[in-house]
Copies of this chain bind each other. A is one copy, B any other.
Amino acid sequence: MERGNRVSITVIRRLPKYYRYLTELLNKGVTRISSQELSNMTGFTASQIRQDLNNFGGFGQQGYGYNVEDLRNQLGKILGLDKIYKTVIAGAGNLGQAIANYKGFEDAGFQVLSLFDRNPRVIGLRIRDVEVRDVELMEDFIKENGVEIGIITVPKYSAQEVADIFVRGGIKGIWNFAPADIKVPDEIIVENVHLNESLFALSYFLNNRQDYVRRD
């Protein structure tokens, strides 16, 4: 398929949502779906959905719609979910442990090889089968194991220090939960999770119900 142009960031941000809905449909035994039905589920317009998917070759057929399993698998490939990723988590507090405990990430191909912390009380603990190691060992661990993704769950004031270690270790992508802007070289992919933004959207809608549209 032709991929000469950059795909817009807003289209890309919608792909994981399509993937999630298609996975749910597949689990319910649905075999095909129209862009209109996808529109009803996602709240995006049918024409937007067709346009979005056209960016990646367009898997629909006029009058038939989309084959759920095919489309889901193709989107999975596009999202890179046909691969296994080695990850580490910096910060073995509640949030780090919650992520290490969440089987959904592992099922999607994201393996947590180790957690790291500087607190002697948690070093040596095991979260499921994953050991908490001293953060002093993190850079070498990343290098030795070819870790690609680093997850930051340390407090704000330690986030940059952790990011620097990730970069020295050769990590390619960072999933950052710390409410801090981290500075890393341009070639490193950074995905920030801003939970505040989600909570503030909730409070907006509580105060402006007329603007609320249910979405999943």
Contact = CB atoms under 8 A, between A and B. Distances in A.
Interface of A: 6-7, 9, 12-13, 15-17, 19-20, 24, 43, 78-81, 83, 85, 93-95, 97-98, 101, 104-105, 108-110, 148-149, 172-173, 175, 179, 181, 186-187, 189-216
A139 B172 CA distance: 46
**Identical copies of this chain, number:** 2
Contact of A6 (B195, B201, B211): B211
Nearest to A194: B20
Nearest to A205: B189
Given A197-B17, A216-B181, A12 B211 contact: yes
Contact of A206 (B24, B172, B211): B172
Given A94-B97, A189-B212, A209-B189, A199 B7 contact: no
